[in-house]
């Protein structure tokens, strides 16, 4: 259900093709949602059937036609109603925590390299978020409301990545005592 609304949210900002929406999820929007291109195309089809979006076919020379989707009045009102409804917290599902839980099945150095890789991945994510923040929100004090709210979603991503990095350091410190 949420994916539809995530797509509507992006389309509201800027009418786009499925391909462009997929790019968005790979970029800064990735700090709050993620979907594969197959899922996006299927979901856009459903939104079209529901009549929440309009489609405009844009022929292109030498490339397949682009289907540009945009949110119509019905879609906008559905998105607004959904936004007003409360949101539950998301349960945690973390493969790496299962692996740590049964960590004594493997050698400590195996866990160590898992956690080191995780730390690196979150470092890279944090760096990406920081680049985006520096580029789009260099002076967060004086942003229009809309932009400030978006800046806050990025802040969430940054805090998230930072908290993982700190935890990895805590785990690595412990694992180091096992050698």
Partner DNA sequence: TAGTACATGTAACAGGTTACATGATTGA
Partner DNA sequence: TCAATCATGTAACCTGTTACATGTACTA
> Could you list the residues that contact a second copy (CB under 8 A)?
2, 5-6, 9, 12, 30-34, 76, 79-80, 82-84, 86-106, 110-111, 113-114, 117-118, 121-122, 125, 145-146, 148-150, 152-153, 155-157, 159-160, 162-164, 166-167, 170-171, 174, 178
State both tokens at 134: 């520096």
> Beta partners for 66?
58
Non-local (6+) Cβ contacts of 1 within 8 A are none
d(CA 15, CA 20): 9
Residue 175 CB, nearest distance to a second copy (Å)?
9
Neighbours of 176 (CB within 10 A): 10
Closer residue to a second copy, CB minimum distance, 65 or 94: 94
Identify which of residues 2 and 80 has a Cβ nearer to DNA in the complex: 2
Task: Kindly tell me which of 38 and 77 has the beta carbon lying closer to DNA.
Answer: 38
User: Following DSSP, what letter does each residue of 71-135 receive, concatenated?
Assistant: E-HHHHHHHHHHHHS--PPPPP--HHHHHHHTGGGS-HHHHHHHHHHHHHHHHHHHHHHHHHHHH
Q: What are phi and psi of 65, to 5 degrees?
A: -55, 145
Nearer to a second copy, 96 or 133 (CB): 96
Q: Indicate which of DNA, a second copy, none lies near residue 38 (CB less than 5 to 8 Å, by partner kind).
A: DNA
Shortest separation between residue 63's beta carbon and a second copy, angstroms: 29
- Footprint of DNA (CB under 7 A): 1-4, 17-20, 23, 34-39, 41-42, 44-45, 60-67, 93
């Amino acid at each position: 259900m949420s994916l539809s609304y995530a797509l509507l949210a992006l389309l509201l900002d800027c009418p786009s093709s499925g391909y462009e929406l997929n790019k968005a999820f790979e970029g800064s929007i990735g700090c709050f949602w993620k979907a594969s291109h197959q899922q996006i195309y299927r979901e856009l089809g459903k939104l079209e059937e529901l009549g929440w979006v309009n489609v405009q076919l844009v022929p292109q020379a030498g490339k397949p036609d682009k289907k540009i989707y945009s949110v119509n009045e019905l879609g906008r009102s559905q998105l607004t109603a959904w936004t007003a409804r409360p949101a539950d917290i998301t349960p945690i599902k973390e493969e790496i925590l299962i692996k740590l839980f049964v960590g004594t099945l493997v050698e400590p150095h195996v866990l160590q390299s898992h956690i080191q890789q995780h730390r690196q991945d979150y470092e890279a994510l944090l760096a990406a978020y920081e680049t985006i923040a520096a580029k789009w929100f260099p002076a967060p004090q004086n942003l229009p409301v809309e932009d400030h709210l978006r800046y806050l979603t990025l802040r969430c991503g940054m805090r998230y990545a930072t908290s993982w990095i700190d935890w990895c350091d805590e785990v690595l410190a412990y694992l180091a005592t096992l050698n």
